[in-house]
Amino acid sequence: MRVLITDYGFQHIETERKIIESAGHELLTAQCRTEDELIEAARACQALLVQWAPVGKRVVETLKDCRLVVRYGIGVDNLDLPALKSAGISVCNVPDYCIDEVADHSMALALALLRQIPQTHARVMQGDWKITPPARIPSFKNATFATAGYGRIARSVLNRARAFGFQPAAYDPYVSEESMASEGVQVLSLDALFSESDVISLHLPLGPETQHFVSAARLRQMKSTTVLINTARGGLVDTRALAGALNSGQLGGAGLDVFEAEPLEQGHPLRSAANALLTSHTAWNSDASVAELQRKAAEEVVRGLAGESLKNPL
């Protein structure tokens, strides 16, 4: 059967080639950026491996031979799941990679902001030497580190937060309070998440219910010393409202690795916002995580085309 890698940003795809061709399939590659490019490249293919290419309804309607779509990664924002389901095309992602990497990145952003490392570094580079930080620094043992969401990555973040002495807490309406409490995690309501937390780290999927989960109204609920971290999905945060809150002193700081539109536009107010620490969607990356992602995605393709049960079906 014919397998198309619709687009990729990896240094090579030899891992996928070895796994897929060893199973007797033909592997094709492209760098599709638009639906029109994808429609042309995917003709007569039985499976697609997709990184960022847009698989919308118009594309799905042309996938007459396709049986399977595998998303390189966790999020599926670029896939029209209802259209794929209606077309009878199986879909899966790779939700069990880069857990440690994203958790490490989340903690790194939080620690840097709480200890005011970027701000102090900038002051030193300007020739201003003081043995007190630019603003008050909270004691970690008296601070509540909360996650919005309580999945794999959120749990890993809270395990790291415990090691630094934080009080772990979480908001997740889809996880039982008993489950969180049994693991020593304080259960928070939605309002308490925003009003009581000293750190809020976002680990939610993006959908209609979570679009702008952190809105201007929610930002007003937060303490002026609270730090917000987002390594999940850019659309969870109203970033223009966030920039305003940072500049007005309404919020202590924000560390973001993901944005509503990427790359972040040059004129976006976050680029000049006070106490903002921005990285370019790199939280997922390490030598180990990239190799793991490529291997697991290719293995799902082989399983799916062989008619075997998918490990991570959507």
Residue 281 annotated to the active site: yes
Catalytic residue among 2, 281, 295, 303: 281
Catalytic residue among 61, 262, 265, 308: 262
Taking the C-alpha atoms of residue 161 and residue 163, their distance in angstroms, rounded to an integer, is 5
Q: Report residue 17's pLDDT band, with 50, 70 and 90 as the boundaries.
A: very high
Contacts of 139 (CB under 8 A, 6+ apart): none
Residue 77 has pLDDT above 90, yes or no: no
The chain-wide mean pLDDT, for the chain, equals: 96
Q: Identify the CATH number of the domain defined by range 99-278.
A: 3.40.50.720
What does the pLDDT read at residue 207? 86
Residue 105 annotated to the active site: no
What does the pLDDT read at residue 223? 96
Average pLDDT over residues 156-168: 98
Average pLDDT over residues 227-237: 97
Residue 233 annotated to the active site: yes
Given the candidates 3.40.640.10, 3.90.1150.10, 3.40.50.720, 2.40.110.10, the CATH classification of the domain at 2-97+287-305 is 3.40.50.720
What does the pLDDT read at residue 38? 96
pLDDT in tens, 245-283: 999 999 999 999 999 999 999 999 999 999 999 999 999
pLDDT in tens, 103-161: 999 999 999 999 999 999 999 999 999 999 999 999 999 999 999 999 999 999 999 99
| Helix residue ranges per DSSP H, 126-278 | 152-163, 177-182, 190-196, 216-221, 239-247
Q: Report residue 75's pLDDT band, with 50, 70 and 90 as the boundaries.
A: confident
What does the pLDDT read at residue 191? 98
Contacts of 271 (CB under 8 A, 6+ apart): 264, 278
Instruction: Give yes or no on whether 2-97+287-305 and 99-278 have one common fold.
Output: yes
**Residue in the block written with tokens 């749990």:** 155
Catalytic residue among 71, 233, 260, 300: 233
Domain boundaries, the chain: 2-97+287-305, 99-278
Taking the C-alpha atoms of residue 130 and residue 122, their distance in angstroms, rounded to an integer, is 12
What does the pLDDT read at residue 304? 96
